Structure 1
Amino acid sequence: METTTLEKIKGGLIVSCQALEEEPLHSSYIMQRMAVAAMRGGAVGIRANTVEDIREIKKEVDLPVIGIIKQVYEGFDVFITPTMKEIDALVEAQAEIIALDSTLRTRPGNVSLNDFFKEVRAKYPDQLFMADCSTLEEGLNAAKIGFDLIGTTLRGYTEYTKEVQLPDLDMMRKLVEESGKPVIAEGGIWTPEQLKAALDTGVLAAVVGTAITRPMDITRRFVGAL
């Protein structure tokens, strides 16, 4: 499965179809239609949040899914697939790739990423895992501990990277050169030109979410220009 999944997404656009509870488009059915639209538009993969959305999307969309579960645990900043409970659920939902917060912040249960991922890899040796990182150091650490894919997903979204200009092409390039793993560009890609520039850094594929699937934020961007 590994080779074919990576071959399927190579050089292409992965569209993130997510809507949280407080957002207007929150609905597994709506996310499925978003994913169908992305597929018809030429996307090579879908990134989706929650088991419900993944199952609904898989009924109609035959593309690899990067699955996550956003779950807040009080007292911890890590919320993208934070514990084994979420990993188990995503494996059961048959997400081809499972992404999780791979920052060096402490996870729920006061465990480090390295200890947590060791358990995860022992339990699911054949599952593809993607590291959602915010710094070069985190990306290189994730590569070292055995993640299959390294993503720039959390660049600009952690307390210590929020001043960074996105998309960070330099970080993408350095991860490609230094990690020895396929890299997924993600975060702050708003235009086709930025997408092209991201792919030119040598990454395997790129994820675009807000600019395609979040009309409220897209509208705000236009309104902001006025």
Structure 2
Amino acid sequence: MPILKGALVVSCQARADNPLHGPVHMAAMARAAEAGGASGIRANGAEDVVAIRAATALPIIGISKVWDDRFPVYITPGFDDAAQIAAAGADIIGLDATGRPRNGEPVERLIARIRTELGREVFADIATLEEGRAAHAHGATYVASTLSGYTEETTARKGEGPDLELLEALVAALPVPVVAEGRFDTPELVAEAFRRGAHAVVVGTAITNPREITKKFVRAAQAWTA
């Protein structure tokens, strides 16, 4: 099931230290997102994907976050991780497609195996134009600006809001759908991403993380009352 042009995809994820962590809460979040008009869901881990698949027919971009201190890549680093997510019901497999070291086969082989052995589309998270070009060359179905600001090479971007310049460059350079993701925290920024040619936009924290949203409001209150 493809991601439609003009789609808002909602990332329904919560880490273990978040009160909303767990498949029951993430399935409810996905239902709420769908009721609000979302056209796709991004989810982490087989348990959450299974629960979300049972709750909605929207396309699911499934990822598997596997942290390993020896490797910087943690978003679906290996084929077994991708296979578990596919078996759980994900329509599309998201992965880190940067050139950084990973605990698994090279990204070009991983993309090829997901396409041929699992029969799934690939959603490639990248941080630079060069990585986007490479992901397309390796066979990724979608290329997303997700990791701009989160790699050593691009860390300076993290405090500057979404990387709209990268988005625009990817749209100009690639013939595949380009997805905007990463720090899109207002409707105005989402609209700007579409204006610059995004096929779809993924929004996470600004919609699905009440703890972080609350912190933002509390900081504003504290600044006013200090």
What TM-score comes out, normalization by structure 1 length? Answer: 0.92
Report the equivalent of 1:151: 144
Q: Distance in 1 between matches of 2:206 and 2:107?
A: 30
Aligned-residue CA RMSD in angstroms? 1.4
Give the AA of the match of 2:216.
Answer: R
Secondary structure of residue in 1 paired with 2:140: coil
Asked whether 1:114 is paired with 2:108, we answer yes
Report the equivalent of 1:161: 154
Question: Which of residues 158, 174, 184 in structure 1 aligns to 2:169?
Answer: 174
Report the equivalent of 2:83: 88
**Equivalent residues of 1:133, 1:155 under 8 A apart:** yes
Q: Offset of 1:168 from its aligned partner?
A: 1.1
Unpaired segments ≥5 residues, structure 2: none
Asked whether 1:142 is paired with 2:132, we answer no
CA shift digits 1:95-152 (9 cap, x unpaired): 111100011101114x43224334444423x311010111111111101111000011
Q: Offset of 1:31 from its aligned partner?
A: 0.6
Q: Offset of 1:37 from its aligned partner?
A: 0.6
**Equivalent residues of 1:106, 1:113 under 8 A apart:** no
Report the equivalent of 1:213: 208
CA shift digits 1:181-210 (9 cap, x unpaired): 101110000100000001111111100000
Give the AA of the match of 1:158.
Answer: T
Report the equivalent of 2:70: 75
CA shift digits 1:57-106 (9 cap, x unpaired): 11121100010010112300100001111111011112111100011101
Counting aligned pairs with the same residue, the percent is 43
**Equivalent residues of 1:105, 1:112 under 8 A apart:** no
Asked whether 1:186 is paired with 2:196, we answer no
**Equivalent residues of 2:115, 2:121 under 8 A apart:** no
Q: Distance in 1 between matches of 2:110 and 2:121?
A: 16
Question: Which of residues 32, 38, 53 in structure 2 aligns to 1:37?
Answer: 32
Give the AA of the match of 2:83.
Answer: D
Q: Distance in 2 between matches of 1:34 and 1:184?
A: 21
Equivalent pairs, count: 219
What TM-score comes out, normalization by structure 2 length? Answer: 0.92
Report the equivalent of 1:132: 125
Unpaired segments ≥5 residues, structure 1: none
Question: Which of residues 4, 8, 11 in structure 2 aligns to 1:13?
Answer: 8
Q: Residues 145 and 52 (structure 1 numbering): CA distance in 2 closer, same or farther, change over 3 Å? A: same
Secondary structure of residue in 2 paired with 1:161: helix
Give the AA of the match of 2:180.
Answer: A
Give the AA of the match of 2:129.
Answer: L
Q: Distance in 2 between matches of 1:38 and 1:17?
A: 9
**Equivalent residues of 1:130, 1:147 under 8 A apart:** yes
